[in-house]
Amino acid sequence: MLNRRRFLQSSFLGSSSLLVNKYKFGELSSQGPIVLSTWSPNVKANAAAWTVLEKNGRALDAVEKGVRVTEADPSDQSVGYGGLPDRDGKVTLDACVMDENGNCGAVFALENIMHPVSVARLVMEKTPHVQLTGEGALRFALSQGFKKENLLTTESEKAWREWLKTSHYDPMITVDNIEEEINKQKPKEVKGQINNHDTIGMLAIDAAGNLSGACSTSGMAYKMSGRVGDSPIIGAGLFVDNEVGAATSTGVGEEVIKICGSHTVVELMRQGLSPEEACKKAVERIVKRNGINAKTIQVGFIALNKKGEYGGYSIMKKFDYGVRSFQGEKVYNAKSIY
Ligand code: SD4
């Protein structure tokens, strides 16, 4: 096991990338534990996950603990408590977890439960199933001692009522000044709505070199009732293969599902691509499918391999992700196609 002292000694050898390159594919992370998650506001979730990892805790415990921070934060209107509702005003939550043994659990469209990530973990650990949806997921959560809560905050209700005035659903644009982004070519139609894409996808490698991941979201704001995106779907919103690496996604879930996004990223890493290259290739598939209209879509992936190398890539700019390790906290702006 790589402890902090050993890590600090080894860091004299140079930068993290130099260190990592010394290690052959398939070897354990040279950096000790690492956690990363989509979107920079989630550094606070990384910090909570880190409290598990720095004490040589299990990656699965770390990602659950981390994601719970964002789920309980009403200021994140894309996850858990305070999440923006569907078009009927209901907050419906999607989440999943996957561990180092390839076990996984998920909940789809769960209502009134603050911590869907923990319910997803219990689906994995206590049921013979992988996925529970809606009413059944709620009944299971209640049977496990979770309490029903109102998750629609005054702010989110206000935003929904405002939205009702036009009822225009436009999940596509996430970038300020989109007009500037759309240069000479014209995609089919561009609306100016800016959505907060703050879904949390979190990946971790622990001191034992084991990988786990979790993902949690309230989904696309003002979605149709019953709509489920990529986030709780194993292989789309999250995938972990303990021999290779892990990946997770954020953005327009429909597009991620169509390319089995996170699984694709992991398989590309298996073929030898770095995490960033693998994320880029997956993003390029989405762009290719959508042609010029890709410029109206935001999707971002992050990935972590067994060696402790990580990276991200997105379609549009302004996708960032935070990383926590013994080297401290870092935020990266992912490279993007546009
Ligand atoms: C979804 N991928 O439900 C999610 C949304 C998202 O930040 O990532 N929002 O499609």
Exposure string (b/e) for 296-309, b if CB count within 10 Å is 16 or more? bbbbbbbbbbbbbb
Q: Cα separations (Å) of 35 from 148, 204, 212, 247?
A: 30, 4, 10, 12
Domains held by the chain: number? 1
* Centroid of ligand 1 to alpha carbon of 15 (angstroms): 34
Question: Does 2 fall in a domain?
Answer: no
Is the beta carbon of 217 within 6 A of some atom in ligand 1? Answer: yes
* DSSP single-letter state for residue 85: -
Question: Does 54 fall in a domain?
Answer: yes
pLDDT exceeds cutoff 80 at 187 = no
* Centroid of ligand 1 to alpha carbon of 94 (angstroms): 9
Kindly report the average pLDDT of the chain as a whole number. 87
Question: Does 22 fall in a domain?
Answer: no
Is the beta carbon of 231 within 6 A of some atom in ligand 1? Answer: yes
The percentage of the chain sitting over the pLDDT mark of 70, rounded to a whole number, equals 83
Question: Does 16 fall in a domain?
Answer: no
pLDDT at 18: 35
What angle (nearest 5°) sits at the alpha carbon of residue 243, between those of residues 241 and 248?
30
* Centroid of ligand 1 to alpha carbon of 128 (angstroms): 27
Closest atom of ligand 1 to 197 CA is 7
Mean pLDDT along residues 205-228: 97
Closest atom of ligand 1 to 253 CA is 10
pLDDT at 288: 96
Pairwise CA distance, residues 270 & 275, whole Å: 10
Is the beta carbon of 264 within 6 A of some atom in ligand 1? Answer: no
pLDDT at 6: 35
Q: Cα separations (Å) of 80 from 25, 94, 216, 231, 326?
A: 37, 9, 8, 13, 29
Q: Flag the least confident range among 177-191, 200-214, 218-232, 315-329.
A: 177-191
- Structural contact between residues 84 and 218, judged by C-beta atoms closer than 8 angstroms: yes
pLDDT exceeds cutoff 60 at 180 = no
pLDDT at 34: 98
pLDDT exceeds cutoff 90 at 193 = no
pLDDT at 168: 84
CATH number at residue 43: 3.60.20.30
Closest atom of ligand 1 to 218 CA is 3
pLDDT exceeds cutoff 90 at 80 = yes
The percentage of the chain sitting over the pLDDT mark of 90, rounded to a whole number, equals 79
pLDDT exceeds cutoff 60 at 15 = no
pLDDT exceeds cutoff 80 at 237 = yes
Q: pLDDT (tens digit, 9 = 90+) per residue, 313-330? A: 999 999 999 999 999 999
Q: Cα separations (Å) of 87 from 229, 253, 265?
A: 15, 17, 32
pLDDT at 24: 43
Is the beta carbon of 174 within 6 A of some atom in ligand 1? Answer: no
Q: pLDDT (tens digit, 9 = 90+) per residue, 154-165? A: 999 999 999 999
Is the beta carbon of 86 within 6 A of some atom in ligand 1? Answer: no
Question: Does 308 fall in a domain?
Answer: yes
Is the beta carbon of 219 within 6 A of some atom in ligand 1? Answer: yes
Question: Does 191 fall in a domain?
Answer: yes
Tokens of 278: 């693998």
pLDDT exceeds cutoff 80 at 22 = no
Exposure string (b/e) for 159-196, b if CB count within 10 Å is 16 or more? bbeebeeeeeebbbbbbeebeebbeeeebeebeebebe
- Structural contact between residues 49 and 60, judged by C-beta atoms closer than 8 angstroms: no
Closest atom of ligand 1 to 198 CA is 7
pLDDT at 8: 33
Closest atom of ligand 1 to 237 CA is 2
* Centroid of ligand 1 to alpha carbon of 230 (angstroms): 7
pLDDT at 184: 43
Residue nearest to ligand 1 atom 6, measured at CA: 251
Is the beta carbon of 230 within 6 A of some atom in ligand 1? Answer: yes
pLDDT band of residue 292 (cuts 50, 70, 90) is confident
* Centroid of ligand 1 to alpha carbon of 299 (angstroms): 9
pLDDT band of residue 1 (cuts 50, 70, 90) is very low
Place of tokens 């809560």: 149
pLDDT exceeds cutoff 70 at 13 = no
pTM beyond 0.85, yes or no: yes
Question: Does 8 fall in a domain?
Answer: no
Mean pLDDT along residues 103-112: 98
CA 77 to chain centre: 15
Is the beta carbon of 41 within 6 A of some atom in ligand 1? Answer: no
pLDDT at 31: 74
Domain that holds residue 146: 29-336
* Centroid of ligand 1 to alpha carbon of 63 (angstroms): 18
Active site positions, annotated: 199
pLDDT exceeds cutoff 60 at 9 = no
Question: Does 10 fall in a domain?
Answer: no
Q: Flag the least confident range among 39-48, 64-73, 288-297.
A: 288-297
